[in-house]
Structure 1
């Protein structure tokens, strides 16, 4: 039970630190304004009562809007950031690195696939050329039919095989 009390007390002590990043200034109407955004450039430096600790030397951004006052400060739309503000570096670098590695892996995968296709085409080309040269040599060529018997190819069958081999050469030997 004591641990729970200590944690609640610690949380209560840390909670006000969230409000430390607040701006406080007096607007042209004499009202005190509290905001998490810096005042517009029309507010003189002498009217800025409090700045966040990390904004002491930061330049103010011209928002070209009337500063929100009172209850409107909590519901006011956030002001646009300066165009020259640097990007957050921690997550973006990791994301860019992951994207770069993924692109490199995809490029390597495509290159490997293209090499595999090129090798298959080269093998098919060599086999088709060898087959065509065998049929062009004039030697007798036999093949085994569906019933397991050897049959010698006649001239029409040889011409059909030469034509098929030439089509394979045309397709794979470019």
Structure 2
């Protein structure tokens, strides 16, 4: 007896799932790329009637309305309905979102402005480094005694080898920053 109950349940489940699949996909057609499409909505107006493989009972393939007839029939649906390609009054669809394009352009402009500000900041820092390095080289080459503070906080005079090493380092900065 259990076997009969299980088999009846199984049969009802299979029949129910088959019914739900067919109820969801009442339309079947071949799109312009040659692929089979299943849908609960009618195909777009640009699909020829010969490409419609299956439709609900009593449904008819509607003739392609013009943009004016469509706008009169349903005022809000004119923007969402397909429009004839040769209609001169049809809005031109570019496939681009103007708001998204404006935001993208604004972000690019902001990034360009940040980049330019950063480049100006770097150029200003290089100019300051150049001036400081030139002044320091002039001080080292003037013949004056140069003092430095050591780690203990005491003043020490630089010897000639330390002066030469510092002048060499400053010359490297001048070569890179003074262009």
Partner of 1:139: 144
TM-score by length of 1: 0.54
Question: Using the alignment, how far apart are the partners of 1:54 and 1:131 within structure 2?
Answer: 79
Structure 1 gap segments, 5+ residues each: 1-33, 43-47, 62-84
Within the candidate set 87, 92, 96, 2:94 is matched to 87
Question: Using the alignment, how far apart are the partners of 1:52 and 1:114 within structure 2?
Answer: 58
Backbone CA RMSD of aligned residues = 3.3
Question: Using the alignment, how far apart are the partners of 1:37 and 1:99 within structure 2?
Answer: 32
Structure 2 gap segments, 5+ residues each: 1-40, 51-60, 71-82, 87-91
Deviation of the 1:121 alpha carbon: 0.7
1:104 aligns with 2:104: no
Aligned length: 113
Question: Using the alignment, how far apart are the partners of 2:62 and 2:122 within structure 1?
Answer: 72
Q: Output one character per residue of 1:97-136: Cα deviation in whole Å (capped at 9) or x when no partner.
A: 0000000000000001111111111111111111000001
Decide whether aligned partners of structure 1 residues 41 and 87 sit closer, same or farther in structure 2, where only a CA change above 3 A counts: farther
Question: Using the alignment, how far apart are the partners of 1:162 and 1:60 within structure 2?
Answer: 76
Deviation of the 1:54 alpha carbon: 3.2
Match of 1:164, SS? Answer: helix
Question: Using the alignment, how far apart are the partners of 1:154 and 1:55 within structure 2?
Answer: 94
Partner of 2:153: 148
1:159 aligns with 2:172: no
Decide whether aligned partners of structure 1 residues 49 and 170 sit closer, same or farther in structure 2, where only a CA change above 3 A counts: closer
Q: Which has the higher contact order (CA 8 A, sep 6+)?
A: 1
